Amino acid sequence: MAIFSKRSLTPAPAAAPAGGGAGVLSQIRAAVANPYVSAAAAAGLFILTLSALVLIIGDPRAGAPVIRLPLAQAVVAAAPPGWREALTADGAGPGVTEEVFELSETPVEDPGVLGEAVITLPGARPGRQRLALPAAPIAGFTSPGPNGPLPIIGPGGRTPAEAYARPFQANGKPKVSLIVGGLGLNGGATRQAIEQLPGEITLSFVPYSEGLQGWIDLAREHGHEVLLETPMEPVDYPDNDPGPYTLLASSGATETTRRLEWLLSRATGYFGLTNYLGSRFLNSDPAMAAFTTALKARGLAFIDDGQAAGRGLGVPRASAGRIIDEQLSGEAIDKQLLALEAQALQNGQALGSGFAYPLTIAQVAEWARQVEGRGYQLAPASALTR
């Protein structure tokens, strides 16, 4: 069974977004003809020469929505290519034409986010804040491999699982988390999930996706932490074949590590792995021991679909307790989301998963707008591995 659906994946050709981009302030200055922007850019560069920990905040007047963009150490991080669209998605009205920026220095608690820019549009409708995550790769967390960069444990023992996770501060309310996966194959569904779901929703990508790094970059720019799906041997293999780099239960530790490293080298920016299929692999103690050992050496987390609950200990772990869209109807999905809330209320936290169907994305987006008003805290999946 696939982690997010029993249904097969059908690739749809689509161009992936290009990664990278100009700095936040330079891109904004080029994008809008506004005297405030130039002043903000100059002031921002001045502050960056004095300190790597700079916070650029927007005018919070009238509860206007904001978008947060990260600052890398002493360098302004890449701005999201669609930052203007992101602001509109957060509730900015079509008649808003003026941007206002103010600068101040504020301590940054999370060492992986050395600063962030907050852009506020005055007069816009209130909306959810969007926190963009630092651009990948973060310095010190990759090393060259035979097929591409590989994750490594960074200076001081900080792991990629920590560096690439979305920052989270518990508020004492029951935590509810959701992973939406199968992303990267269908361009339309992938962009819909990235742009319409709040950043607290964790996104999972297929390693064989064309333009995988560009999709991961776009997801992180929109605040989503990312998992990489790992094809694992199902009980009906090879009739049900997850691809040429499937991890096989019969393979030794050396072959498992070789295949895993090929998968890991497809992109950077993920905090951990999740299984795709794997009913045979996940129930093999030798196979899971080899897999967990390789993950631990690279500082990665592992989240499964419930088939491996209690296995693979020794790394940051979590298991999804509920697949929300096995029945693909709005009513069925809503019932599963309410059941997820009930589980969180009983246990203090709950993790669910779903596939990137347009209907699933629409139902999850609506649910996410309301769940915190019912007394829960929407949390990234990484928060349940800590």
Buried-exposed string 282-313: b where 16+ CB fall within 10 A, e elsewhere: bebeebbebbbebbbebbbbbbbbbbbeebbe
- How much of the chain, in percent, has pLDDT values that exceed 70? 67
Mean pLDDT rounded to a whole number for the chain: 76
**Residue 324 contacts residue 178 (beta carbons within 8 Å):** yes
> Residue 175: what are its φ and ψ, rounded to 5°?
-90, 130
Task: Return d(Cα 45, Cα 37) in angstroms, integer.
Answer: 12
CA 35 – CA 55 distance, rounded (Å) = 20
**Average pLDDT estimate for 256-268:** 98
Per-residue pLDDT, 169: 96
Q: Is the pLDDT of residue 278 over 50?
A: yes
CATH superfamily of 142-384: Glycoside hydrolase/deacetylase (3.20.20.370)
Window from 61-75, 129-143, 329-343 with minimum mean pLDDT? 61-75
Whether the model clears a pTM of 0.95, i.e. scores above it, the answer is: no
Q: How many angstroms separate the Cα of 63 from the Cα of each of 90, 103, 120, 121?
A: 12, 18, 9, 10
Per-residue confidence (pLDDT) for residue 78, from 0 to 100:
34
Q: What was the pLDDT predicted at 312?
A: 86
Confidence of residue 311 (pLDDT cuts 50, 70, 90): confident
What pLDDT is recorded for position 168? 97
CA atoms of 5 and 19, how far apart (whole Å)? 29
Task: Find all residues with CB under 8 Å of 111, minimum gap 6, and list them.
Answer: 158
39 pLDDT more than 90: no
> Parallel, antiparallel, or unpaired: how do β-strands 75-76 and 130-131 relate?
unpaired
Structure token pair of residue 6 = 């029993």
What's the pLDDT tens digit per position in 116-146?
344 433 333 334 557 899 999 999 999 999 9
- Cα gap 230→11, rounded to integer Å: 17
Domain boundaries, given as residue ranges, for the chain? 24-131, 142-384
What does the pLDDT read at residue 242?
95
Cα 269 to Cα 287: distance, rounded to the nearest angstrom: 25
Name residue, tokens 């100059």.
42
Give pLDDT tens digits for 185-226.
Answer: 999 999 999 999 999 999 999 999 999 999 999 999 999 999
Q: Across residues 17-44, what is the average pLDDT?
A: 38
Q: How far is CA 133 from the centre of its chain?
A: 9
